[in-house]
Structure 1
Amino acid sequence: MLIAMAGLPGAGKSTVARALGRELAAPVVSVDPIEAAMWRAGVSRGQPTGLAAYVVAETVAGDALALGQTVIVDAVNAVDAARGQWRSLAERHGVRAAFVEVVCSDRAVHRRRLEARSRGIEGFAEPTWEAVERLREEYAPWTDHRLVLDAMTALPSNLATALAFLAAAT
């Protein structure tokens, strides 16, 4: 199965992705560290490294799927083109794609979490709240069936809900 996480930066999707990865013994392919690695390798920030990071993540995820592994992709996936990339990858490998969107229903908490976090991704500056708000405005409506988790709910409960959703999707 290909599990595509989605949600605004700082909403909690990486936390859920890592918990799912541990529970399912599945690799988590995260777009932000890939993009930061490109910058560290000398690729200019003026290049379309965001798109390139999604393409690299798709290749890595495809290799894991080819080995018969479930894989979790951790990315914002704000637009249908990104979501379609994961649908297409799953189809090419003959596996099911499942989308899990993580939101934070309390904007004040979301902002505090974003502004307090430091993921330690070398060369990757955390986005500002203003950047997240701009992205929120550009976030495309969903056409795919998905599970929506609220990060205001405790992680163990969200993890149990996600596992039940994924079990029903197989």
Structure 2
Amino acid sequence: MLIVMAGLPAVGKSSVAGELGRALPAAVVSVDPIEAAMWRAGVDRVQPTGLAAYLVAEAVADGVLALDQCVIIDAVNAMEVARRQWRTLADRHRVPVAFIEVVCSDSRVHQQRLERRSRGIVGFEEPTWQAVQQRRTEYEPWIDDRLVLDSIADLASNVAKAQEYVTGGT
């Protein structure tokens, strides 16, 4: 199965992805560390490293799926073109794809999480609150069925909901 996390920066999708990956188990492929690695390798930040990171994540996920293992993609996935990328990958492997969008219904809490977070990704600069707000305006409508989790709820209950969603309650 291919599980695709989505949501704005700092809503909590990486936390859900990590715990869900442990619970299933499933490999977690995160776009932000991939992009940071490109920058550390000397790829100029003016290059389309965001797009490149999605393509590298796809290549890694392709390899995991080829081994008949589950994989979780951890990325913003704000654009329909990105979501289509994951549907196409799942189709190529003839596996189901499950989308999970994580939101934070309290903008004050969301901003505090963003401003306080330190994920330890060497070379990765966290976005500003203004950049996250701009990204929110660019977020494209969903056409896929998806589970929406509000990160105001505790992590354990969100992970349980996600696990039930992707396993069909089994």
TM-score band (shorter)? over 0.9
Please tell me the root mean square deviation across aligned C-alpha atoms, in Å.
Answer: 1.1
1:19 aligns with 2:19: yes
1:93 aligns with 2:82: no
**TM-score of the aligned structures, taking structure 1 as reference length:** 0.98
1:61 aligns with 2:57: no
Gaps of 5+ in 1: none
CA–CA distance in structure 2, aligned partners of residues 158 and 169 of structure 1: 14
CA–CA distance in structure 1, aligned partners of residues 78 and 169 of structure 2: 22
CA–CA distance in structure 1, aligned partners of residues 169 and 53 of structure 2: 27
**TM-score of the aligned structures, taking structure 2 as reference length:** 0.98
Structure 1 residue aligned with 2:140: 140
How much does 1:167 deviate?
Answer: 1.3
Structure 2 residue aligned with 1:126: 126
How much does 1:169 deviate?
Answer: 8.8
Structure 2 residue aligned with 1:36: 36
SS in 2 for 1:105: coil
What CA deviation, in whole Å up to 9, does each residue of 1:2-60 have, x standing for no partner?
A: 00000000000000000001101211000000000001001110110000000000000
Q: Is residue 98–residue 169 contact of structure 1 (8 Å, CA) maintained in 2?
A: no
1:162 aligns with 2:168: no
CA–CA distance in structure 1, aligned partners of residues 169 and 144 of structure 2: 13
CA–CA distance in structure 2, aligned partners of residues 11 and 35 of structure 1: 19
What CA deviation, in whole Å up to 9, does each residue of 1:88-145 have, x standing for no partner?
A: 0000001000000000000000000000001110100001000000000000010000
How much does 1:168 deviate?
Answer: 1.8
Paired amino acid for 2:43: V
Structure 2 residue aligned with 1:76: 76
CA–CA distance in structure 2, aligned partners of residues 115 and 31 of structure 1: 20
CA–CA distance in structure 1, aligned partners of residues 77 and 58 of structure 2: 12
Gaps of 5+ in 2: none
